[in-house]
Structure 1
Amino acid sequence: MATTAIDLKEEILQLKKERNAVILAHNYQVGEIQDIADYVGDSLGLAYKAQETDCDVIAFCGVHFMAETAKILNPNKTVVLPDRDAGCSLEESCPAEDLAAFLEANKEKNYYVIAYINCSGGVKALCDVIVTSGNAIDIVNKAPADRPILFVPDANLGAWVMEQTGRKMDLWQGACYVHVEFTQNSINKIKEEYPEALVVAHPECTTAVRMLADEVCSTEKMIGFCKNAPVKDIIVVTESGMLHRLQKEAPDKNLIAGPTDKCACNDCHFMKMNTMEKLRDCLLNLTPTVEMPEEIRQRAEAPIIRMLEQSK
């Protein structure tokens, strides 16, 4: 007999109890996973929760770099990811060996390296401090004034941070494939359908799209914006999974997925690789686990802890 959604949920909850596990889920996960998670949030919130947990097992429903961050902060815990292949175009845009070679070739500049959290543990190990979209402005403002900044890997987020801080930075030319698919044309078209709507966009979007937004902010800050917006219609320009949480948090609003030129909403296929069945299986088998060399983990931990301390 086929497993029903109710049976699957009960299996996951039972396994979570048996394994003394916590389930962490990113805002871009499918709704069923968000609903069963112990905590749903953005990269910064998830990093805090990973640091705080006293469970034996962390089931991280997100993409690989997020689960890796949890492992960096919890070396003695078992960290599992439902789908080992849930990657990230931003992470892939900045291989650690390429960054190491660039820093070596430009060592006379003595870069202060700031990395967006959407990068590998190997890249984190080469950096001075990590940022998320929610805290990047504050942390860049705290960077040493006497050193040039290299911001990796997202050029769009870096450009937005420069606009907000006035701080010159050299930008690694990486991008999130999901957010760059939103265009000026696609947002203008949806605004024609909802002329009274406000637009909230993620800073990983291009400059042309950010200029059309009434607010540019992290996914977590989108919740407050949508709750407090003086209008009913809000166009949300980020990965479509965010609307599941927003609809729960702001039920009185008409939340409209930001479209691309190709489709009415925008999914990250990496985020959507995690399923309830894979979550059940990773708790059952405690695999796939996230591991890394201890030397890399220790070096990567320092800039993450620096971020968490500077974000309090």
Structure 2
Amino acid sequence: MNLIQLEPYRTTDELKAEIQRLKTEKKAVVLAHNYQRPEVQEIADFVGDSLGLARQAARTEAEVIVFAGVHFMAETAAILNPEKKVLLPNLNAGCSLADTITADDVRAWKQDNPDGLVVVYVNTTADVKAEADYCVTSGNAVAVVNSLPKDRKIFFAPDMFLAAHVERQTGRKLDIWLGECHVHAGIRPDDIDAQKAENPGAEFLIHPECGCASHAIYNFPDTPLLSTEAMISHSRQSEAKDFIVVTEIDMVHRLRREVPGKNFIPVNRTALCEYMKMISLENVYETLRDLNNQVTVPQEVAEKALTSIERMIQIG
């Protein structure tokens, strides 16, 4: 009779110690998105937004990249590092926004607009990026669109709220795909109004993916829309002590770690991405231990997508 050897239960501290040991042993780096669980952020070598993580993936000398994020982020890292192992601790960690558009949707627009330019948000699959001229994040979308020829039609996909922000900032009319992030779309104007009533002296930190952004701009006209990375720099420089954070709830953890002495209030404690939360300390540890859950992109797709991704990294 064969007995299955079970690993002993590990405490959080033991898991963290084992992950640190395995990173050295396997010559690995752990990249974590701002929306990851706090304990996952704390064992990462770098925590950031999609643009920052892409830049780190492009420059790392590690042989193994463990991406504590969602599937499209691991795909991007794999495209930038074809010679390295890119691992996603939970292969079911997808993205509701990325799922709103396919490569066929982009090809259909290109067929109708052969002289147009395609700009896609980084929250898209590799297949979609392969059909794009430019890839962007919330941090550089305005800069990218501003850099494009004024006489070219632009298709912007898939987030309609980020697209509306880009239109306001650039003054350009875009062809907009009507996609949304379910977390950001779920933050309502009532959430903003309620938190402002409770914290009248607080400043807003509002992500441009939020469906409530137009309401905030109209009712609080001095409020900027900020990428998650810009939230860090803005709150450091601001004289305000209190901030209402209008994005996924675990951005608050990073803000509290990196900007001590200030108070960060989540606008809605149910603004939680269940896909990001699929990554746990346990599966980060197991992935490092076994070097499994590798994410790969077909060479033909990767080669086509690389151009738009490199442009994203270079601009803004």
From 42, 55, 65, the equivalent of 2:62 is 55
User: Residue 260 of structure 2 aligns with which residue?
Assistant: 251
Cα shift readout 1:86-120 (whole Å, capped 9, x = no counterpart): 1111100112222223333x144x22000111100
- Aligned to 1:216, the other structure's residue is in SS state coil
**Distance in structure 2 (CA, Å) of the matches to 1:277 and 1:299:** 35
Residue 225 of structure 1: CA displacement? Answer: 1.4
Q: Which amino acid aligns with 1:235?
A: I
Identical positions, percent: 46
User: Residue 116 of structure 2 aligns with which residue?
Assistant: 111
Q: Please say if 1:167 is aligned against 2:176.
A: no
Q: Please say if 1:219 is aligned against 2:228.
A: yes
Residue 142 of structure 1: CA displacement? Answer: 0.4
User: Residue 142 of structure 1 aligns with which residue?
Assistant: 147
> Does the 8 Å CA contact 1:24/1:61 hold for their aligned counterparts?
yes
Query: After TM superposition, where is structure 1 displaced by more than 6 Å over at least 4 residues in a row?
Result: none
> Does the 8 Å CA contact 2:192/2:216 hold for their aligned counterparts?
no
The answer to which of 2-11 and 217-226 deviates more is: 2-11
- Aligned to 2:182, the other structure's residue is in SS state coil
Cα shift readout 1:1-35 (whole Å, capped 9, x = no counterpart): 52111111111112111111011011111111111
> Does the 8 Å CA contact 2:29/2:65 hold for their aligned counterparts?
yes
> Does the 8 Å CA contact 1:236/1:255 hold for their aligned counterparts?
yes
User: Residue 65 of structure 1 aligns with which residue?
Assistant: 72
From 4, 7, 14, the equivalent of 2:14 is 7
> Does the 8 Å CA contact 2:98/2:125 hold for their aligned counterparts?
yes
> Does the 8 Å CA contact 1:201/1:238 hold for their aligned counterparts?
yes
The aligned runs of 1:283-298 (5 Å cut-off) are 283-298=288-303
Q: Which amino acid aligns with 1:178?
A: V
> Does the 8 Å CA contact 1:183/1:209 hold for their aligned counterparts?
no
**Distance in structure 2 (CA, Å) of the matches to 1:169 and 1:296:** 26
- Aligned to 2:32, the other structure's residue is in SS state strand
User: Residue 23 of structure 2 aligns with which residue?
Assistant: 16
User: Residue 184 of structure 1 aligns with which residue?
Assistant: 189
Residue 269 of structure 1: CA displacement? Answer: 0.5
Q: Which ranges in structure 2 are unaligned for 5 or more consecutive residues? A: 1-7
Residue 308 of structure 1: CA displacement? Answer: 1.8
Cα shift readout 1:253-272 (whole Å, capped 9, x = no counterpart): 1110012xxxx341100111
**Distance in structure 2 (CA, Å) of the matches to 1:25 and 1:200:** 21
User: Residue 308 of structure 1 aligns with which residue?
Assistant: 313
Change (3 A) 1:196 1:265: farther
The aligned runs of 1:30-41 (5 Å cut-off) are 30-41=37-48
| TM-score normalised by structure 2 residue count | 0.93
- Aligned to 1:178, the other structure's residue is in SS state helix
- Aligned to 2:65, the other structure's residue is in SS state strand
Q: Please say if 1:127 is aligned against 2:127.
A: no
Alignment RMSD? 1.3
Aligned residues: 305
Q: Which ranges in structure 1 are unaligned for 5 or more consecutive residues? A: none
Residue 208 of structure 1: CA displacement? Answer: 3.2
- Aligned to 1:215, the other structure's residue is in SS state coil
Residue 210 of structure 1: CA displacement? Answer: 4.0
> Does the 8 Å CA contact 1:23/1:59 hold for their aligned counterparts?
yes
Cα shift readout 1:196-248 (whole Å, capped 9, x = no counterpart): 11111000012434425622110000011112222222100000110111001
From 214, 221, 224, the equivalent of 1:208 is 214
**Distance in structure 2 (CA, Å) of the matches to 1:75 and 1:8:** 29
Q: Which amino acid aligns with 2:214?
A: A
Residue 178 of structure 1: CA displacement? Answer: 0.4
User: Residue 99 of structure 1 aligns with which residue?
Assistant: 106
| TM-score normalised by structure 1 residue count | 0.95
